[in-house]
Amino acid sequence: MFGKGGVFLNISFEGKTALILASSQGLGRAIAEKLAQGGANIMLASRNEGKLKEVKVSLENGSAGKIEYAACDITKPEEIKQLVEQTVSTFGTIDILINNAGGPPAGLFEEMTDDDWQKAFELNLFSYIRAIREALPHLKKQGGKIINIASSSIKEPIAGLILSNTFRTGIVGLSKTLAEEFAPYDILVNTVAPGRIATERVRHLDEVNAKKQGISVEQQEERMKKKIPLGRYGNPEEFANVVAFLASGANTYVTGSSFLVDGGMVRSI
């Protein structure tokens, strides 16, 4: 079935276990929903335990796999280590690692302090490195998939997002390098980059930009939609469909690649 924001993708994940970071809302939750629909065992993770409980209950309705959650601050290495250990203790292994994190604050270079840079590094790059390092021994046993969520800024820097522009491109370098290093273990590593997907993060950025320009949020949204060939923001499910394919058994030969899910917004080749 095809339609705006309503594409259906049916891929089986039965018998597979996925650890999904930042999965209490937005893109992470959409990915968790998609994999759960395919029967995967899911370990949800974020700092918000209340939201995690809600997502667990929602995903359990009709899912063939088991759904569990763990509160985790991914900027803290000891909590990432505990998260991976809990996932393996609960499900026996990890087949799919989805690295995801909320975006850093908007702002210009001259506005950013050392603390801003350090926090963005810990959240948006080092957390991925740490999660991969902890999950790797388990992925090596049977092969698996690592999907790193980035941003369309990996192809075209976004004005006012200096922190995101810097560390999201670092994710691409990490993914490309690890794709080669992990290939002998049959571990495929890819990056998926969202454009204007209708999430709370994008809504927040629209609010920030609208305030700067002295216009309404709705006017800002319309301005952005005019820059997108498809003329609309994407649906989180549409983004999750791309991730699901890359994480599934249908993907046996795609690794070291970066994929934009942006409705054609980025013009670069």
Find out whether 263 and 230 touch, Cβ atoms under 8 Å: yes
Q: Are residues 116 and 206 in the same domain?
A: no
CA distance 26 to 199: 5
What three-state secondary structure class fits 68? strand
Q: Report which of 92, 81, 200, 180 is spatially closest to residue 132, judged by C-alpha positions.
A: 81
Asked if the structure places residue 181 within a domain, the reply is yes
Same domain, 101 and 228: no
Q: How far is CA 59 from CA 45, 53, 106, 216, 234, in A?
A: 14, 10, 32, 35, 22
Amino acid at 262: D
On whether both 29 and 149 belong to a single domain, the answer is yes
The phi, psi pair for 175, rounded to 5°, reads -60, -45
- Tell me how far apart the alpha carbons of residues 1 and 199 are, in angstroms, rounded to a whole number: 23
CA distance 25 to 4: 21
pLDDT of residue 200: 87
Residue 4 lies in a domain: no
Model-level pTM? Answer: 0.93
CB–CB of 44/56 below 8 Å? yes
Residue 84 lies in a domain: yes
Based on the fold, state whether residues 189 and 205 are members of the same structural domain.
Answer: no
Q: Which two tokens stand for residue 234?
A: 């994407």
Burial of residue 94 (CB within 10 Å: 0-12, 13-18, 19+) is buried
User: Which pLDDT score, from 0 to 100, does residue 269 have?
Assistant: 83
Do the Cβ atoms of 51 and 26 come closer than 8 Å?
no
Question: How many independent structural domains does the chain possess?
Answer: 2
Domain boundaries, position 220: 199-233
pLDDT score, position 205? 86
Question: Is there a single domain that holds both residue 122 and residue 181?
Answer: yes
Same domain, 88 and 184: yes
The span from the CA of 32 to the CA of 56, in Å, is 10
Helix H or strand E encompassing 43: strand 41-46
User: In angstroms, rounded to a whole number, what is the distance separating the alpha carbons of residues 159 and 24?
Assistant: 28
* CA angle, 250 then 179 then 13, to 5°: 25
Q: Is residue 269 part of a domain?
A: no
Would you call 226 helix, strand, or coil by DSSP? coil
Residue 8 located in a structural domain:
no
φ/ψ of residue 42, rounded to 5: -125, 130
3-state secondary structure of 138: helix
Q: Do residues 106 and 134 share a domain?
A: yes
Q: pLDDT tens string for the chain (269 positions)?
A: 334 555 556 789 999 999 999 999 999 999 999 999 999 999 999 999 999 999 999 999 878 899 999 999 999 999 999 999 999 999 999 999 999 999 899 999 999 999 999 999 999 999 999 999 999 999 999 999 999 999 999 999 999 999 999 999 999 999 999 999 999 999 999 999 999 999 988 888 889 889 989 999 999 999 999 999 999 999 999 999 999 999 999 999 999 999 999 999 999 88
Q: Tell me which residue of 42, 50, 34 sits closest to 87, measured CA to CA.
A: 42
The answer on 115 and 227 residing in a single domain is: no
The answer to whether position 72 is within a domain reads: yes
In this structure, the answer to whether residues 165 and 204 fall within a common structural domain is no
229 and 245 both lie in a single domain: no
CATH number at residue 113: 3.40.50.720
Say yes or no: 45 and 71 in one domain.
Answer: yes
- 161 and 240 together in one domain: yes
